Amino acid sequence: MAEAEENIRFHEMFHIEGGNFTNAGAISSRVKKILKEAGFPGKIIRRTSIAAFEAEMNVICYANQGNLSLLIAPNFLKVVVKDEGIGIPDVKLAMREGYSTANEKIRELGFGAGMGLSNIKKNTDEMILTSTSGQGTHLEFIIYLDRQETQPPFE
Amino acid sequence: MTVFDIVKIFGLQMRAGKDRLHEEVTGGYASDLLSDVIAHSHKGNVWITIQTHPNIVAVAAMKELAGIILTGGREPDAETVQKAEEEGIPLLVSPLFTFELVGKLYQAGISGMNPC
């Protein structure tokens, strides 16, 4: 995916606790703050923090625990989210908007609309999602810093 | 129209974010699904919902919304009030149900269409 890791000029990893809804959104708001302080344009910040929020919520809703890493390179931002948990048995199906395996508790909180992964896809330029059922999920997405005038391509 | 105008006109109860009432409202969005709000609301919108837990503040802060209006007389959780104060998000309560309040806001000129 994209460019060599040696171009990374900032890297921070955050821990996400599965099932803890009280602080939900805390990681993505820290990501947002970091990007704001670094002086990135509003659109870049918005797209990245929306995708990070959805990824964070997925770990909280479905996994035991996970990590979200933010990497800043000269030409792109990259977020890597790895979790340990039930995983996604059918990634293609999970990507379909409206499809959700959320339980009643998650839905009552207003999550589990089946829009999280497609929100990530819409707000990023590249997205890779892999999962081993019963073990966990690995998500990576990239937002290019020099491609903001055009809409990201849809596959 | 500012959040303060909306509070005055519709007699809303303030629960948090009193310092941010001067913000200009760009429009409105009504939904109880957080991902739907993330996908379709716009900066400066007022958000009408029945959700009362702290995650609504995270969504509003991330999308830079002008405020959250809880309908049907629902009261925010204590953690929600605290978080809204920290983030500076106006948190308002209306006794009206969502349909009724949205209708009144629309009549007052608050639109669901994105202005930009």
Q: What's residue A66's pLDDT?
A: 98
Class of domain A14-144: alpha beta
Q: Is the pLDDT of residue B25 over 80?
A: yes
CA distance A49 to A85: 23
Q: Is B101 inside a domain boundary?
A: yes
Q: How far does Cα A41 stand from its chain's mean position?
A: 19
Query: What is the interface pTM, i.e. ipTM, of the complex?
Result: 0.81
Q: Does the beta-carbon distance from A53 to B62 stay under 8 Å? A: yes
Over residues B36-45, mean pLDDT: 94
Residues of B in contact with A32 (CB under 8 A): 62
Q: Are B2 and B21 in contact (CB under 8 A)?
A: yes
Q: Is B114 inside a domain boundary?
A: no
CA distance B15 to B6: 14
Which of the pair, B116 or B39, is modelled with greater confidence?
B39
Q: Does the beta-carbon distance from A28 to B58 stay under 8 Å? A: yes
Question: Of B32, B39, B56, which is closest to A119 when you measure between CB atoms?
Answer: B39
**CATH number for position B63:** 3.40.1390.20
Q: Is B112 inside a domain boundary?
A: no
Q: Is the pLDDT of residue B104 over 60?
A: yes
Q: What's residue B115's pLDDT?
A: 59
Spell out which chain A residues touch chain B, with contact meaning CB-CB distance below 8 angstroms: 21-22, 24-26, 28-29, 32, 49-50, 53-54, 57, 109-111, 113-116, 119, 122
Q: Are A125 and A95 in contact (CB under 8 A)?
A: no
Q: State chain A's mean pLDDT as an integer.
A: 91
Q: Is B37 inside a domain boundary?
A: yes
Q: Are B8 and B99 in contact (CB under 8 A)?
A: no
Q: Does the beta-carbon distance from A113 to B38 stay under 8 Å? A: no
Q: Is B115 inside a domain boundary?
A: no
Q: What's residue B113's pLDDT?
A: 87
Q: Is B113 inside a domain boundary?
A: no
Domain containing residue B83: 3-107
Q: What's residue A4's pLDDT?
A: 60
Domain count, chain B: 1
Q: Is B45 inside a domain boundary?
A: yes
Query: How close, in Å, is residue B35 to chain A by CA atoms?
Result: 6
Residues of A in contact with B62 (CB under 8 A): 25, 28-29, 32, 49-50, 53
Each residue's pLDDT tens digit, B63-83 = 999 999 999 999 999 999 999
What angle (nearest 5°) sits at the alpha carbon of residue B9, between those of residues B7 and B11?
Answer: 55
Q: Is the pLDDT of residue B102 over 90?
A: yes
Residue with tokens 């602080």: A23
Residues of chain A whose pLDDT is less than 50?
A: 152-155
| Domain ranges (residues) in chain A | 14-144
